[in-house]
Structure 1
Amino acid sequence: MQEKKKWYRHVLGFRSGSKWKAIVASLFYFFLFIGIVGAILGEDTSTTSEENVSEQEAIEAEEVEAEEEAQQEEEERKAQEAEEQATKEKEEKQKAEEEKEREEQEAKEQEEAEEQAAKEKEEKQKAEEEKEREEQEAKEQEEAEEQAAKEKEEKNNLKNTAQNIAEREVEVINVEFYEDTNHVNVYYELGDNFTKNMILKNSHMNVTNMLEDFKKTNISSIYFEAETTFTDEYGEESQGKATTYDFNKETINQINYDNFDYDNLPGVADSYWEHPDFSR
């Protein structure tokens, strides 16, 4: 029966069974194994390095990308913030403009309201002044009318008084009253007496009595004119002016009628005239 060969006897260098061939083959296979392992390990190292480089590059690329993304995000954030800030500033500016317009509008309305109030106040004041003026004018008109009526009444009374005074003392021919000056003209008839001197004395006395009564009135001046009948040497009679007297208010008031001698009346009168026939 043939003996079965061991497994390593089939390997090149061990088949002959020679020891030195086995040693050489062993060394060969050892170095071959080392070479293969080195080659494998060298390839793994190279691959690992390349992988490490690739990973590093990927990491750096990712970092760059992340940085770029972060930068882009930062830029987008800044842009957004800038846009938001611009929008905010625009809104604030718009609000400020609206607030300014509102304040200007309020100020304008306030000014217009004040002007309107001042205008209304002025118009009211003018209306009140106009009303007061009209009331004052109406009052003055009424007072003037009352005064005019009073003066007219007084003048009528004065005219009637002058008429009554003259009629109490003499035979009145006519009494003239001038309203604008309160002047009175009294025309009267001389009474019949025995002598010319008595006629004159009687005239002086009558005029003095009338003056005393006129003193109590508002007469400003008086003119007395006495008429009588004259007879010439042929026996012809004619009516004519016998005496005239003029007195102003000052002279009338100056006479003390309680002690006055009416014979002095021609010298006291502001003017006196008598017909030449009384001097013959």
Structure 2
Amino acid sequence: MPKAPPLRLGVNVDHVATLRNARGGDRPDPVRAALLAIEAGADGITAHLREDRRHIRDEDMARLKAEISKPLNFEMAATADMLAIALRTKPHAVCLVPERREELTTEGGLDVVGQHNTLAPFIARLNDAGVRVSLFIAADPAQIDMAAKLRAPVIEIHTGAWCDAVVDGDKAKADAEWQRIVTGATLARSAGLEVHAGHGLDYVTAETIAALPEIVELNIGYYMMGEALFVGLAQTVRTMRAAMDRGRAKLEHIA
């Protein structure tokens, strides 16, 4: 078996901004959190600028791009307003996600099959600007095939249903969702796509999914920020990195 590529950790700082916005001031600062996460071993920073600005703000994105030393992954909906901001900010990557104002968090993958006519010009504009495009989708063959046809170089597999089933102890559902992820990651890699994964991951599920050689990046936020309340953000990043490394090491034993 060929050696699997390194597994990157992207830390999502959205919920540092959620806590800040609860009081309407400037603290805690998500940019400070991003800098600390990078110092502790994060390979990149993810932030979602939502239409309603419920956590990350426009100025946060500008400061993240200016101040961090690692790649910035700009999560956004496919709207004209967000496209203009992304083209102005020029992050390393843009991850296109579905968005509804009434949702608490992103509830599912982007429907790239149903929205391909809308998404195609967005992806083309970002590609032309030198911004890597990632599509946040379910591990569904039709969605993966369309992502490849749309010339998006990256997909991020939505792992929420699997993670929820693991936490709930629903083994049958967890096993079914896991098999979808395994099959989807293999299909995406064979189609020439770079494969990332995220949503709902914790230490246990991150270690498990790290053993899939097709996946090269995990983006994790909410769980890590919750853990950081108890042990600090730097320790949380180091513990997550260790869990991912343990999972990746299993590939060497398989080989």
Q: TM-score, normalised by structure 2?
A: 0.20
Q: TM-score, normalised by structure 1?
A: 0.19
**Greater RCO, CA 8 A, separation 6+:** 2
Is the radius of gyration larger for structure 1 or structure 2?
1
**Higher helix proportion (structure 1 or 2):** 1
